[in-house]
Amino acid sequence: MNKFLLLFILFFIASCKKSEEVKNFDNLNSSEYFSISTDLKNMKDINKNKINDSLYKITGTFSNYTITGCVDHKNIRVGWWTAINKQSKELNAKLEYKFIDNKEFVNQYLLFEDGKIDSVNSKFYWLDKNENVAKYNFYIPNSSKHLEPEGKLNYHVYTNGTELKHSQYKCSKIENIFSCEIPYLKDTESKMIIRGNFWELFQMENGNIGENEIYVLDTLK
């Protein structure tokens, strides 16, 4: 419960000018969790600097934190955003925005304790690759309320714009980490791209079905 309290203090101190109140923090998904603090309408002292014709860097404040990230020409949040404590200068959180199905989506979020990633309460992935195998580790926030979790990775492999493979892989699970290994051709000189999405399905205590998703886009070689 202390973790949820910390996140509430960090991200959900409501603006006096707004009536946004969230009463049940345990039921929030990742997008809801971080949308308030990185919403430009809720930030103060905003600086918006043009990077190119389609991308702008945003810096502002929310409560005791400096928020930094990027938006496109339509003010849609993209890429990685950070929350840094203004007093301690410590990085408290990072989150990655993607635009999926015409909506902003928090694809990954990293929470930090003493400068290190809190891998038990963060949602992110890690890729290790050698000559012919790509190993994905998907870290999903641990919860005793998630029953019978199952994780799968649906992916495509491309080279020179041509799809070489489309498959689905059932991941193995140890604690809060889902892992899978994807073989790929090593006898080609062309750059290889893997694109897909991992999803975890689980049953909640009330019988409803919940899910977590992480989208991947990586260069294999």
pLDDT over 70, % of the chain: 80
H-run or E-run covering 140: none
pLDDT (0 to 100) of residue 146: 67
Same domain membership, residue 109 and residue 7: yes
Compute the mean pLDDT over every residue in the chain, rounded to the nearest whole number.
Answer: 82
Per the structure, how many domains does the chain have?
2
Same domain membership, residue 7 and residue 99: yes
SS3 35: helix
68-72, 101-105, 113-117, 202-206: which has the highest mean pLDDT?
A: 68-72
How confident is the model over 92-118, as a mean pLDDT?
91
78 close to 98: Cβ distance less than 8 angstroms: yes
Same domain membership, residue 31 and residue 8: yes
| Cα–Cα dist 97/45, whole Å | 22
Same domain membership, residue 84 and residue 101: yes
How confident is the model over 116-145, as a mean pLDDT?
88
pLDDT digits (tens, 9 = 90+) for 46-66: 999 999 999 999 999 988 889
Same domain membership, residue 81 and residue 105: yes
Chosen domain end from 117, 146, 172: 117
| Cα–Cα dist 220/181, whole Å | 13
Residue 14 has pLDDT above 50, yes or no: no
More confident residue, 220 or 45: 45
Chosen domain end from 117, 146, 173: 117
pLDDT (0 to 100) of residue 1: 43
Same domain membership, residue 147 and residue 109: no
Same domain membership, residue 213 and residue 139: yes
pLDDT digits (tens, 9 = 90+) for 202-216: 877 777 787 889 999
pLDDT (0 to 100) of residue 38: 82
pLDDT (0 to 100) of residue 11: 45
Q: What is the CATH number of the domain that holds 185?
A: 2.60.40
Chosen domain end from 102, 117, 132: 117
Confidence of residue 123 (pLDDT cuts 50, 70, 90): very high
Confidence of residue 2 (pLDDT cuts 50, 70, 90): very low
pLDDT (0 to 100) of residue 204: 74
Q: Residue 79, Cβ neighbours under 10 Å: how many?
A: 14
